[in-house]
Amino acid sequence: SCVVSSVQDEARVFQKKVPGSSTVNLGQNTHDWRPLIHTTVNLSEIRSIKSSFEFRTFDPEGLVFYGDTKNGDGWFILSLKDGVPLIQINKGVLISVAGTPRLNDGKWHTMEVSNQGKFVNLEVDGTGGLVVGIHSKQMEEVIYGKLRLALGGILISKEKMIVQFNPKMDGCVRKGNWLNLTSPWVAEADELQPCYENIQPGSYFPGTGFAIFNTSDFQIDGDHEVHIELWGDFSQMDGTLLSIKADGEELMFSVVADNNTKNFTFTSREEVFTMKNTFKRLQIKFLKDSLRVVKHEEESSADFSVSAGSNTGYLSAWRDGHLAIGGLLGENDDDVGSQFLTGCLEKIQVQGKDLDLDLARVKHVSVSSHSCPA
């Protein structure tokens, strides 16, 4: 109920009305579970039990669409998990079902949700997707009162779901036709961010923010090394690709691109190195007492190594600090950062695993986790 009241309070503050058919960038949500846009209608006004919309994403996991009746006693949630649709329903019984082809291919898909008697159907691109059969006493009750719909968030406690998932969704919804309703929705933000016309996989930084991880989130076994790899067209980037800082210490390492000089500057504590950004892949290896940077061009590679010297070893600093992607860490946690990156990182890996910016401790709302403008 506190979640619902907070949403209603926010709606009273902004009360910005938008058409239900608006293009909505689901990735701009600053609150993990709070809806981006929502509406409430009387069930007596509903003449259709079908909703359709177009949806596009490269993101394998996140929240799309929510609806409920009786102030949240009965509810429906559509999300993605592992790239496929996941439906969760409470109609006196809790039901969860997932399936149909993967949808996180970056293409627009037409999705239709309908209620037909004891069945809830999800169609994708005009073909049968998921069919959920439900038989409960609540289904047989006369439906009355209010219906609430929301995009990008839910109006119940997330603990009520059977399957837990990360709600952050780098995706877009457009051309929504929600139960044939014509009344406008309420937007939680002053302005809805646009969706790029064409997209490609990657993490996009528009120069206004970054993502921060705790270095303790990454497993380091003993005195083994830490690998970070970045892929992209570095000649098109400007600003800080990454920075690393241990708690209570000065900045340990940073990589900054300058689009004017076409140089990369690597700063490792007091030492500074510069190289031309003609490469497409960058490897950074943190060893116990040294640091190695390897740049890979089409047919060659070059590297340099830096000793930790009298400073604390690089791996020691990794155990209690922060890794920022797309910006320069400030002197303390209260600093908002600086020298934010403008550009697309096509792939980011730490310890050989793809890094999902949705899992960051802090991520600026402007950063797109899984898509870049093409």
DSSP per-residue letters across 35-68? -SEEEEEEGGG----EEEEEEEES-SSEEEEEEE
- Report the pLDDT averaged over residues 99-119: 88
User: What whole-number distance in Å separates Cα of residue 65 and Cα of residue 5?
Assistant: 19
Confidence of residue 352 (pLDDT cuts 50, 70, 90): confident
CA contacts within 13 A on the Cβ side of 105: 8
Instruction: Give the separation between CA 266 and CA 257, rounded to whole angstroms.
Output: 9
Same domain, 83 and 158: yes
For residues 37 and 162, state if they share a domain.
yes
Interstrand relation of 50-57 and 171-178 (parallel, antiparallel or unpaired) = antiparallel
Asked if 246 and 320 touch (Cβ cutoff 8 Å), the reply is yes
Quick one: 186 and 225 in the same domain? Answer: no
Q: For residue 70, what pLDDT band results from cuts at 50, 70 and 90?
A: confident
The Cα–Cα gap between 240 and 341 comes to 5
Domain boundary pick from 194, 213, 245: 194
212 with 88, same domain?
no
| Pair 75, 163 in one domain | yes
Range of the domain at 274: 203-373
Same domain (yes/no): 133, 264: no
Q: Into how many domains does the chain fold? A: 2
> Quick one: 182 and 294 in the same domain?
no
Looking at the fold, whether 181 and 236 belong to one and the same domain comes out as: no
**275 and 145 co-located in one domain:** no
Q: What is the pTM of this model?
A: 0.86
Q: What is the pLDDT of residues 140-195, one digit of tens each?
A: 454 678 889 999 899 999 999 999 999 999 999 999 999 888 888 888 777 778 89
User: Is residue 229 domain-resident?
Assistant: yes
Does 213 lie in the same domain as 272?
A: yes
Given a cut of 90, whether residue 321 has pLDDT beyond it is no
Tokens in use for 226?
């830490």
Residue 11: what pLDDT? 41
Same domain, 73 and 213: no
> Is 325 within 8 Å of 355 (Cβ atoms)?
yes
Residue of 319, 347, 322, 349 whose CA lies nearest to 333? 322
Which band of pLDDT confidence, cut at 50, 70 and 90, is reported for residue 300?
Answer: low
At 165-177, the pLDDT tens digits run 999 999 999 999 9
Residue among 110, 70, 67 nearest 89 (CA): 67
For range 38-59, the mean pLDDT: 88
CB distance 291 to 275 below 8 Å? no
- Which residues lie closer than 8 Å to 251 by C-beta, 6 or more apart? 243, 244, 245, 267, 269, 328, 329
d(CA 26, CA 351): 29
> What's the distance, Cα to Cα, between the start and end of the chain in Å?
42
Mean predicted lDDT score pLDDT of the chain: 84
CA–CA separation, 239 vs 181, rounded Å? 46
Q: From CA 13, how far away is CA 252, in angstroms rounded?
A: 43
CA distance 138 to 123: 25
CATH number at 241 reads 2.60.120.200
User: Is the same domain home to 240 and 182?
Assistant: no
Report whether 65 contacts 78 (CB < 8 A). Answer: yes
Q: Mean pLDDT across the stretch 54-69?
A: 94
Give the pLDDT confidence score for residue 343 in this predicted structure: 95
Domain-embedded: residue 3: no
Helix (H, G, I), strand (E, B) or coil at 206: strand
- For range 80-89, the mean pLDDT: 93
CA angle in degrees (0–180, nearest 5) for 210-260-279: 70
| Model confidence at 79: pLDDT above 50 | yes
Calculate the CA dihedral of residues 192, 197, 198, 201 and round it to 10 degrees: 0
